[in-house]
Amino acid sequence: MKMVAIVSLKGGVGKTTTAANLGAALSQHAPGGVLLVDCDPRNQLGIHFGLGCGAPGLTQRSLRGGSWARAAHQVWDGVTCLPFGAPSAAERGDFESLLAGRAELLREGLADPALERFGFAVIDAAPWPSQLLESLLPLADLVLIVLSADPASFATLPSLQALLQQHCRAAAHVLINCVDGTRLARDVRAVIAAQPEVSVLPFVVHRDQAVPEALASERPVLEHAPMSQAAEDFRCLADWVVDALATQPGKGEGAPARSERADDEAAPLVTGANQ
């Protein structure tokens, strides 16, 4: 299983949206399906597929023991979502202390054979700075940092450098989101691209009304508005991710696992989004 972590340094740049839509677009490339992992305590990834907020997630599984796969739901054709779960205040405290004690918690949770069969895992990462983010970054094969094409993104550039230096083992790339035709957006893009030691993807995701509309209809943009530029951008991103993962030297595990779906008895995956 190849893991792609989607990271942001400030709110509102479209990290979760990117994770959801990238997952949908990647499913076209992954015979084993794509696993979306919500590692953001705000627990919003499932919303993009109409997964209710109340469903238990990886926090509950970690605290009560048992396979993470039991909390995963197939939410779209070829896409399975593992929500963070909506922990109570006490649960959150417990989870954090558990995590502080066991740095390998995430690795072990994802090492479930029922989850390993997915070709790709797209991780909606925790906000920065946080313990959770630091513990999940080393797991990723590829890190995508989402920035929006607005001046506030400049402010995050120093923290971006720090983050990359301290925690990123894998290749990290910047994806610029919400690009429109304005001069400002283009200049911001140019300035970010000119930063040393930052690899900026050669394409962007455009600001497109189809994206919020897709969220409102609880479907990925790919399905809601397949002809839209945003859908085109996410397809392009998925193509690029597949290429990047195929060409980079992996962790020694070779090609993504390609086991068939049917041979799985451990995880009774709940099919259907709403329950």
Partner 1 sequence: MTLVRRAQQLLLAAAAVVLAVMGVVTPLDATPQLIVGGLAFGFALLVMTRRGRLAAQVLTLLSVLASSRYIWWRLSSTLDFDTTLDWILGLLLIAAELYAFVILLLGAFQTVHVLERKPVPLPADRARWPTVDVFIPTYNEPLDLVRPTVLAAQALDWPADKLRVHLLDDGCRAEFRAFAVRARVNYIVRAEHKHAKAGNLNHALTVTDGELIAIFDSDHIAARSFLQLTVGWFVRDPRLGMLQTPHHFYNADPIERNLGQFRRVPNEGELFYGHVQGGNDFWNATFFCGSCAIIRRSGLAAVGGIATGSVTEDALTSLELQRIGYGTAYLNVRQAAGLATDTLAAHIGQRVRWAQGMAQILRVSNPLFGRGLGLGQRLCYLNASLHFLYGLPRLIFLLGPLAYLLFGAHICAASPTLLLAYLLPHLCHAMLVDAHVRRRFRYAFWNNIYETVLAIYILVPTLVALLQPRAGVFKVTDKGVLAEGGFDRRIARRYLILLLASTAGVALALARLILWDEYDVGTVLINLAWCTFSVFTLGAVLAVACESRQVRRMHRLPLTLRAALRTTSGHVLATKTRDLSLGGAWLDWTEPMAVNEHVELGLFVGFAECWFPARVVACDRGRLQLAFAPLSLRQESELVQALFGRPDAWVDWERGRPDDQPLASLRTLMQKSARGIRAAATVERRLVAGALLAVATISVCFLLARTGWRVQPLVERVSELGSVMSDRLQSAADVR
Of the candidate residues 15, 29, 48, 206, the single one contacting partner 1 (CB under 8 A)? 206
Closest distance to partner 1 from the beta carbon of 224 (Å): 11
Choices 4-12, 110-118, 135-143, 230-238; region in contact with partner 1 by CB under 8 A: 230-238
Choose which of 108, 180, 223, 253 interacts with partner 1 (CB under 8 A): 180
Mark the segment that binds partner 1 (CB under 8 A) among 20-28, 41-49, 90-98, 222-230.
Answer: 222-230
Residue 205 CB, shortest distance to partner 1, in Å, is 10
- The binder of partner 1 chosen from 208, 219, 242, 267 (CB under 8 A): 208
DSSP classification of residue 68: G
H/E stretch holding 215 reads helix 210-216
Q: Establish if 43 lies at the interface with partner 1 (CB under 8 A).
A: no
Pairing of strands 200-206, 34-38: unpaired
- Kindly state the smallest distance separating residue 216's Cβ from partner 1, in Å: 14
Q: Which residue from 130, 195, 229, 259 is in contact with partner 1, where contact means CB under 8 A? A: 229
Distance of alpha carbon 11 from alpha carbon 155, whole angstroms: 13
Q: At what angle do helices 15-26 and 229-247 cross, to 10 degrees?
A: 70
- Distance (Å, rounded) from C-alpha 105 to C-alpha 61? 11
Amino acid at 183: R
Report strand pairing: 73-76 vs 270-271: parallel
Q: Which is nearer to partner 1, 58 or 241 (CB)?
A: 241
- CA-CA distance, 179 to 73, in Å (whole number)? 32
Q: How many residues line the site for partner 1 (CB under 8 A)?
A: 18
Chain centre distance of CA 12: 15
To the nearest whole angstrom, how small is the minimum distance from the Cβ of residue 243 to partner 1? 15
- Residue 207 touches partner 1, criterion: CB under 8 A: yes
Question: Quick one: which H or E segment has residue 79?
Answer: strand 79-82
Q: β-pairing, 120-124 with 73-76?
A: unpaired
The terminus-to-terminus CA distance of the chain in angstroms comes to 28
Instruction: Find the part of the chain contacting partner 1 (CB under 8 A) among 22-30, 112-120, 168-176, 225-233.
Output: 225-233
Per CB under 8 A, 231 contacts partner 1: yes
Q: Does 227 bind partner 1 (CB under 8 A)?
A: yes
Chain centroid to Cα 254, Å, comes to 21
Cβ proximity to partner 1, 38 vs 208, nearer residue: 208
**With contact defined as beta carbons under 8 Å apart, do 145 and 116 qualify?**
no
Binding of partner 1 at residue 203 (CB under 8 A)?
A: yes
Choice from 63, 210, 244, 269 touching partner 1 (CB under 8 A): 210
Residues of this chain that interact with partner 1 (CB under 8 A) are 180-181, 186, 202-204, 206-210, 225, 227-232
